[in-house]
Structure 1
Amino acid sequence: MASSSSDSGNDSFTYYRSTASRAYRKKMQWKSNLFQFRSFITSVGPSDSHIERLSKTPFSWVLDIPESPNIRGFAQNMFYNWDCEAKCFIFQDVQLSFTKSDISLILGLPDYGDVVPMHVDAAFSQLYLQHFQDSHCSKNDLEKKLIQIRRETNPASVILFCKFFILYFFVCVFFTTTSSIYKLPALSLIDCVDDLDNLGKFNWCEALYNYMEPQMEAIGMVLSLRSKPQCLEPTKKPMLKGFARLLAVWMSEHIPIERPHNPYVIPRICRWKWRV
């Protein structure tokens, strides 16, 4: 009798999970090109002069971003635990909110400083006028420019390489885009990068969080097995842009390993090691 009851329970669970999958499971898409960024930068090989100049900015650590696991399924399963009303993740009745402080701890960037002008869709710096005003400037174009500038060794070319390097990082990883520099959330980011000496005055944690948070909420509303607003469009496809792998690192620090009763258990992954 015990075996029969157990089998019946397993069948019910399997049916529930398959039904929930058909009703809610969507293919979660990314706009993250971390692998492309790492592969290209490794092939270009920044010189000691480039590394020294980048070390004076908040983004020298991007040279040491390690290989990361494929977390598409990891993050997708994570959003099944999103609560639409509380606007946070809930695991065993424990509420977990992804915050700017989490980004700061993971990346080693300070959670303070001037607001990044993400709302200004215009640029007026010399960097923009000389290199982007009359150019579509796709990722491939940025790569060609970086390769060309890498061959030069004068101080001006070193600074220019670092500016293009950070913009390429923004396009591929931080503020991920579909194809070109003009898909950045604001062209004013070009003006920020043009002033390398003052890049550290901005709160990049806040900028990245404000870029990702609305998308996280939208994805959670689509994928969550918890209650959803009745007005939610069932055909909406989730798309997560920004440094999505931050979520995997953050979640690995908060979710206990043993949750055998949870059908959407999220495996713990190794914490990334950043040089900051």
Structure 2
Amino acid sequence: MAPVAQVLSSESNGNATVGALGRRKDGKPLKVRSYPKFDTLEEERQYRKQHLAAAYRVFGERGFDEGVAGHISVRDPILRDHFWLNPLSIHFSQISVSDLILVDEEGTVVIGDEPINAAAFAIHSEIHKARPDVDAACHAHSVYGKAWSVFGKELDMMTQDSLRFWKDHAVYTQFNGIVLDREEGRRIAECLGGGKAVILQNHGLITVGQTIDAAAFWFLSLDKTCQAQLLVEAASGGSGIKRTIIPEEEAKFSYQQAGTPEKGWLAFQPYYDDILAKTNGSFLK
């Protein structure tokens, strides 16, 4: 598999970000943000940890917390069968780089002094095993994600933003209680398949990505898409108003413009900048 930076860089050459819109009138190229290049794997490890901590802060700001439920993980670039995630009892809005826990593929803490969420390990370990192309995964009990999950249905492609998930999300239609069994994690990973998101019926949402940034943005967007669909369902129920579904050809084209790993990474950068400014970088410590 090509390195993440290489994959993201190659994708940026064939979309609407570059080309005519990528140059000034005088022909000078515009600066398009892209996944950074690192001199060492240690530098990339620190980058991933910083953006993981930022993702937790962003999730906390949006109310995606619920007690000790919810977790975001990122694969370690040096120890590829290890991943970083949150300690059990620190609120998302308080997590910093120094709080992050490194665990191995068996769930044993390698770096850190606190336990992890057992459900986090049961789900995330199996996703990381099943998807070597995925370096990050997000799961939280967001209100709109929970509400839509009750229907056990995929989302309709009826808004532009929903097209990020066109033929790229699934529904896990079983609820077997709190996920503590790794076999349940394997079934969830199997349901996810090669997609970027899975809706867990009666539970919540999971998104994955080649970067922590992409996985986090997919989650933010997926939850908003659930909110939009819930509003549409409520407004149209019994009213006789016809809902317009976006045709396949337009959906495919839009997905290629908005649903790629490179676009997911880029879309999270304003959130990173915002939380960096609001916290004065406190999560970097």
Tell me if both proteins adopt one fold, taking TM over 0.5 as the criterion.
no
TM bucket (normalised to shorter chain) is under 0.3
